[in-house]
Structure formats: C-alpha cells, structure tokens
Amino acid sequence: MDFFYPNWINDFWRVMGLIFFDDKAYFEVKGEKRFDKERIAAFAEQQGFAFYDTASKVNRLKDNASDNFLEIVEPTDIGALLGQMPDCCRLVTTGSKASELLQQQLTVASGSAEGHPVEMPTIGSFTKVHAYERDLEWFRMPSTSRAYPLALGKKADFYRRLFE
C-alpha cells in the first residue's frame, strides 16, 4: 500500500474530510473510486499525523483482515518509532489486536508492576500513561471499516475527540 487507509470502502479519509472540511468527499478523486494520495500526504504532514501498524510482520490465517485471523509474527517496536518523533504525545489504536499489542508495550515501558497492565481505554476514550520518557495519551477509536456497524457521522463524532 502506498499510504494508510487506501481501501475505497474504508471510511477513514471520509471521516477526516467531515471533521476538517465538512466534506466527506474531500479526499476522493472526483469521478474515480479512489482517494487522492497527494492531498492526503499534504494534509497528514500539515496536521503532524504519523501512521504505522502495531505489528511489523503478520500472517493472515484467512483471506481477510479480521483480528481473529491474524497471527502476529513481529510486533512493532513502539519505543523505536517514538524515538524518531520526539514531539509525539498521542497514540491511537482501532482494532482489539492493535490495542492489546500497544497495551503490552506501554505496560513494560511505563514500569507497571507485573499483573497490573496499563489501563485499556474504552472505545472513544483515552488513557494517560508515562512511558518512553514522556507523557502519552492513548486513544482507542472505533474502526472506520464499513464492516463496523456505526454510521459515518457517528464515527466522525468519535474521531473529533482526538482534536479537541
């Protein structure tokens, strides 16, 4: 993939269009079923967004992206990523598997006692944690996949919380 959320049937860029431009089609290429990569890249850079998966190597056990059928071969080193972004103070996950992987790393990095993991945020909320030598806010948002049964406007309402 050339960029994150390129799938036409994923609503992430429509959600961003609604939030920032009051236009769900803002990032779409007119007359085509695809998103405008250059417009997205410029927007993400301007906003200071960074995207990465919580796993660097994954086996798909079935022909879909469901968390139930993903085997994590190599988790991403979140500390190494944050080391390259000294001003990053907000992390966002959507899926349960991504959230579990981040929770494990934040628990270790924060020095939480064994058996006392960093609190998992509920969908639409965040947890504050001190890890990787900085204060972080970890948000957990609903999936923007159309398989997730929530109307586009409601998804946008959740994601607006990231920018308040």
Q: What is the pLDDT of residues 88-107, one digit of tens each?
A: 999 999 988 899 999 999 99
User: Is the domain of 120 the same as that of 155?
Assistant: yes
Domain count, the chain: 2
Mean pLDDT, the chain, whole residue set: 91
62-67 average pLDDT score: 70
Based on the fold, state whether residues 81 and 13 are members of the same structural domain: no
Are the CB atoms for 129 and 84 separated by under 8 Å? no
Res. 79 pLDDT band, cuts 50 70 90: very high
Phi-psi region of 121 (alpha: psi -120 to 50; beta: other; left: phi over 0): beta
- Whose structure tokens read 């049937």? 9
Same domain flag for 28 and 97? no
Residues 24, 73: one domain?
Answer: no
| Unique residue bearing structure tokens 């006392």 | 116
Please answer whether residues 95 and 145 qualify as being in contact, where contact means their C-beta atoms are separated by less than 8 angstroms: no
Host H or E run for residue 153 = helix 152-160
Query: What residue numbers bound the domain in which 34 lies?
Result: 1-49
